[in-house]
Amino acid sequence: ERQLASSVPKERRKTLEAALSEVNAWGFDVWSVVDAFQGDTLLASRAIVDAVVFEARGFRAASASPILRQVVSKMLASYQDVPYHNCLHGADVLQAMHALLNLAPTFDDALDDDVVLVTLLACLSHDVGHPGLTNNFLVETGHELAIRYNDASPLENMHAAVALNLAKPYLRTRPSTDQKQNRALWIGLLLATDMKEHSQQIFELERALSKAKERGTSYEACTPEHHVPCLKIFIHACDISNPAKPWPVYRRWTALVMEEFWRQAELERERGLPLTVPARDATDLAQFQKGFIAFIRPLFAAADRIGGVDMSLPLERLDDTARRWQSGSPRAEAYDPPVATEPPPVSFQTLTEPVALGDDDVRE
């Protein structure tokens, strides 16, 4: 099955097999797969997606399989080559979703196969075309994406539009009522990855949890009406789950997320804009990460209170990560980020029907 393994030198094949054998676990190390492919993130991402979707989840039996493979390839290829928001992040969120569903087996079993597959593909595609710049930057600079989406979550709207366009060949293999439902689910999941919705998502979940408690019951993931709300919580949790992963895995993601921020800060500086992200020469990494972890922890804690969902492992990891920053040791263990080469592209051309807005991406 693993044709990909043929592109890996023999001496690294064992390492790859060993790494992929952990693909069902929350502590899965994406970086060992990347290392086996000698840094080729596209090949590594393909291998991870294949291991989850076609092997662990067994979707190869689906009659749509060749179409599905093609859709997966196009999604991976539609990511840009930016430090953090590249195809590996998409594959990572897909694997995290698979692992989180494994930690919620009754919920997993209650979901239709169709829903699980759409959810995994939504994870894979949730940041397609990401230019490595924040919504805030796109809006402040009048980027073509901000113009197209009227300053309203331009990234997430673009991810959803591009992803659903690429998904058409797969969706068409389904009966027409499923097509509509699948499309709605996919869009809903992608828009739920908007950080702007973070606090509202927690607020609504906590309200649902306490309402159930007042009634003397618990809020159960398996209840059919709760499937979609829970999947939205799950995709958002997976999207920001790096600090809830083992330290060495988290540390490499953090180097990349910071590199992307630093490049944006350089662009902001060049344009004389106020800095909205930390600058390379002025980042208190421990402080920044502790702040981020404190911000995201309530989501994992609330999700843990959903009946049929076990967030204790992610929560333990999250607390472990926070403790490591607290104790001040991380500097010694710091992962050296890759040296900055080129700034990220500021233009965007993946959409099939670009809006004619003139040649300038960005107002000077």
Query: Per-residue string for binding with ligand 8BR, 179-208, x by CB under 6 A?
Result: --------------x-x-------------
CB of 221 to Zn ion, least distance (A): 22
Give the residue carrying structure tokens 């040296």: 339
> Judging by beta carbons within 10 Å of its beta carbon (0-12, 13-18, 19+), is residue 307 exposed, middle or buried?
middle
Please list every residue from 108 through 137 that binds Zn ion, using CB under 5 A.
127
Which of 111, 145, 189, 240: binder of ligand 8BR (CB under 6 A)? 240
R_g over Cα of the chain: 20
Query: Per-residue string for binding with ligand 8BR, 92-131, x by CB under 6 A?
Result: -----------------------------------x----
Pull the structure tokens for residue 128: 């397609």
- Residue 200 region, left (φ>0) first, then alpha (ψ -120 to 50), else beta? alpha
Which of 162, 212, 256, 257: binder of ligand 8BR (CB under 6 A)? 257
Pull the structure tokens for residue 217: 């019951």
Q: Which residue is nearest to ligand 8BR (CB)?
A: 292
Q: How far is CA 124 from CA 6, 90, 92, 238, 277, in A?
A: 24, 4, 8, 11, 26
Please list every residue from 180 through 209 that binds Zn ion, using CB under 5 A.
193
Of 233, 297, 203, the C-alpha closest to 211 is 203
Which of 239, 260, 268, 361: binder of Zn ion (CB under 5 A)? 239
- The number of residues that bind ligand 8BR (CB under 6 A) is 11
201 binds, among ligand 8BR, Zn ion, none (CB under 5 to 8 A by kind): none
Tell me phi and psi for residue 201, to 5 degrees.
-60, -45
Tell me phi and psi for residue 307, to 5 degrees.
-60, 130
Half-sphere exposure of 47 (CA within 13 A, CB side): 31
CB of 114 to ligand 8BR, least distance (A): 24
95 binds, among ligand 8BR, Zn ion, none (CB under 5 to 8 A by kind): none
Residue ranges that bind ligand 8BR, judged by CB under 6 A: 127, 193, 195, 239-240, 242-243, 254, 257, 289, 292
Residue ranges that bind Zn ion, judged by CB under 5 A: 127, 193, 239
